[in-house]
Chains A and B, each alone.
Chain A
Amino acid sequence: MISIGETLRLASRALRRNKLRSFLTTLGIIIGVGAVIFIQSIGEGAKSRVRAQIESAGTNIVMLFSGASQGPGGRGGAGSQPTITWEDLRAIQTELPSVLAVAPQINSNQPVISETNTWNTQITGTTPDYFVIRNWPVSSGALFTASDQASAAKTAVIGQTAAENLFGPGVDPLGQIVRIRDAPFTIVGVLERKGQNAMGMDQDDGLYIPLSTFQTRMQRGLGKFVPGRISISAVSPEAIGRVRQEVGQLLRERHRLGPDDEDDFSTSSMAEMTSMLTSTQETMTLLLSAIALVSLIVGGIGVMNIMLVSVTERTREIGIRMAVGAQPTDIMMQFLVEALVLSAIGGALGVIFGVGLGKVIAPKFGWIMETKTQIVFISLAVSAGVGIVFGLYPARKASQLDPIDALRYE
């Protein structure tokens, strides 16, 4: 077999001879690879946007619910049956070193009445630690305090959207009084704007009051049990698994569950939520990429087609080469490398095309492009693979020609 450099030189020469034809042949590969790159980049962008939104809810968070998430006899969903006590909560907070903060929360949608407006919004009863866990500071005023919590004070912290709707734009909500179920609440703080969450809900449309106040005003307390969901923040993202395990162990001990008893609580992490939400996106991207891949294969068939034409056209050339001493492998490599170069160039142009297309289109629809190097390399490898697979048959055909017949071919 002659050297690869020599073969490459031969191939690039043959391709340059038919510039338009070579370009049109690679077009299929260009479009295929371009589509894969474009779709993958958009998909990756959407995924990281979802991830960012979920992370805006607070990273390192483990959610703890009363009751089992699943169980025999159609037991109610998570949180339906209170099993976690305030004592449990305190134990989690104090006994587990991987836990940074713990905050229960309970919500209810209620009409809130200001002097000028009425606005239906989500009221959340929680403890001050909630804002630590969610990494959510106030933009003006202050958060309600532990003593507010202890005394069930009628103080409230408000989100920006709710504030605008209740008091109108430009009015300072601090010190304003709103009525919820006939009880007057004083606005002590306005939260920083946080935007939409992963579900598309406006996180700024809400009012936060001490959990104790919520229990006395909205929902009769159950005394020793903690209502609602409980957010636990781990000291680091790596500690999430440890937190879930330790919380589980601690609660099982505290609830005196035997080895055969099911958990009477359940936990889930934001990581699970992220993977759940991004998995939909991934499925979508995968599906579209599969379609794009089909077009890449169609492009490969185009390469095969043109290589077959080329072999027929150049039958005499093949005969001459064989007569002067080209071995079957030399001929095969010549055509195989030609197909490979054709599709590799198509792949490279496809990457440029895909990225360029994204740069033009993505901003128009507010999409985010995120091109992973990995995808670029995979696309290039796949298009080269397509060249080899679809170039093999024509190349083999060329190498198996009989030199006498090839020389006589008109």
Chain B
Amino acid sequence: MPALIQLSNLAKVYQSGDSEFAALHDVNLDIERGDFVAITGSSGSGKSTLMNILGCLDSPTRGSYLLSDRDVAKQSRIELAKVRNEFIGFVFQNFNLLSRTTAAENVELPLIYARVPPAERHRRAKEALERVGLGHRAGHTPSQLSGGQQQRVAIARALVTRPPLILADEPTGNLDSATSVEIMKLLTELQQSGMTIVFVTHEPDIAAYAARKLLLKDGAVISDLRQKPSLKEAS
């Protein structure tokens, strides 16, 4: 089975006036299904740009990106929206939950855009919240939840569509170390249940949870380290 993510000669160039700035150049990268990948690097290394492209929020300037064998490098906005809805779950540093909206409704959001009927939506949202250990907090709004709980709601939202890929951008960046450990344990559980997880971090102890650690510098992958066997190798 081919890799879930296949990047070849991927480049992203920003143009401002006459000068060009390459945020990424010639990235070649495969990420297997079920892998747990940390992307690290200093700020300005291109890791955010890479995450945006992986998440189909942005398109590369050159090169190809195959996600689940589908070429998503040159898709329209509408197609990209469909891909995000179907194949990707996002977890953000600042949680990005809708305020004044209950946890359950936040989790349901992707299902609305997947045209899932309401009854089915409620059921799946409840299921996802239970999976992250927040079944009893379904009716709470983000302001009534702690940071860690909010991030759990966000993770529930990311997995409610059962996407093959979960992308987390500094998922523990706004959390204390104890809560960070909880969140990383939760992500590890999800990976062990078969999901592919790619996350960005600049903290070495958080990156240590990953099976594979990538180091970016000046828009290129300069180190690719397998820390633990991937699911495929383990089995």
Residues of chain A whose beta carbon lies under 8 Å from any beta carbon of chain B: 2-3, 6, 17, 316-317, 319-330, 403-404, 407
Contacts and interface: CB of A to CB of B under 8 A. Distances in A.
Interface in B97-146: 97-98, 100, 109-110, 112-115
Contacts of A3: 115
Given A325-B84, A328-B81, A404-B52, A320 B58 contact: no
Contact of B110 (A6, A317, A325): A325
A71 to B, nearest CB: 73
Nearest to A317: B98
Nearest to B99: A317
B136 to A, nearest CB: 24
A407 B92 contact: yes
Contact of A320 (B86, B98, B100): B98
Contacts of B55: 323
Nearest to B55: A323
B82 interface: yes
A403 B77 CA distance: 10
B84 A323 contact: yes
Nearest to B79: A327
6 contacts: A6-B112, A319-B96, A324-B84, A324-B85, A324-B110, A324-B113
A317 B97 CA distance: 8
A317 B100 CA distance: 11
A324 to B, nearest CB: 4
Contacts of B157: 324
A320 B115 contact: no
B36 interface: no
Contact of A324 (B58, B78, B109, B115): B109
B16 to A, nearest CB: 16
A127 B114 CA distance: 85
A6 to B, nearest CB: 6
A316, A320, A407: which has the most chain B beta carbons within 10 Å?
Answer: A320
Interface of A is mostly: helix
Contacts of B199: none
B135 to A, nearest CB: 21
B148 to A, nearest CB: 19
Given A3-B115, A404-B52, A325 B81 contact: yes
Interface of B: 52, 55, 57-58, 77-78, 81-82, 84-86, 90, 92, 96-98, 100, 109-110, 112-115, 157, 161
**Closest 4 pairs (CB-CB, A-B):** A325-B85, A324-B110, A325-B113, A327-B81
Given A2-B112, A3-B115, A323 B57 contact: yes
B96 A320 contact: yes
Contacts of A323: 55, 57, 84, 90, 96
A403 to B, nearest CB: 5
Contacts of B85: 324-325
Given A324-B84, A326-B81, A404 B58 contact: yes
A316 B98 CA distance: 9
A176 B228 CA distance: 128
Given A320-B109, A324-B110, A407 B96 contact: yes
A215 B113 CA distance: 91
A130 B86 CA distance: 87
Given A325-B110, A403-B57, 7 more contacts: A317-B98, A322-B57, A324-B157, A327-B82, A404-B52, A404-B57, A407-B57
A325 B86 contact: yes
Contacts of A330: 113
A240 B157 CA distance: 76
A2 B55 CA distance: 22
B101 to A, nearest CB: 9
A245 to B, nearest CB: 66
A333 to B, nearest CB: 12
Contacts of A328: 77-78, 81
Contacts of B109: 320-321, 324
A330 B90 CA distance: 19
B96 A316 contact: yes
A320 B97 CA distance: 8
A2 B113 contact: yes
A329 B81 CA distance: 11
B92 A326 contact: no
Contacts of B82: 325, 327
A373 to B, nearest CB: 36
Contacts of A322: 57, 81, 84
Contacts of B81: 322, 325-328
Nearest to B154: A320
Contacts of B52: 404
Contact of B114 (A321, A325, A403): A325
B174 to A, nearest CB: 14
Contacts of B110: 324-325
Nearest to B113: A325
Nearest to A316: B96
Contacts of A319: 96
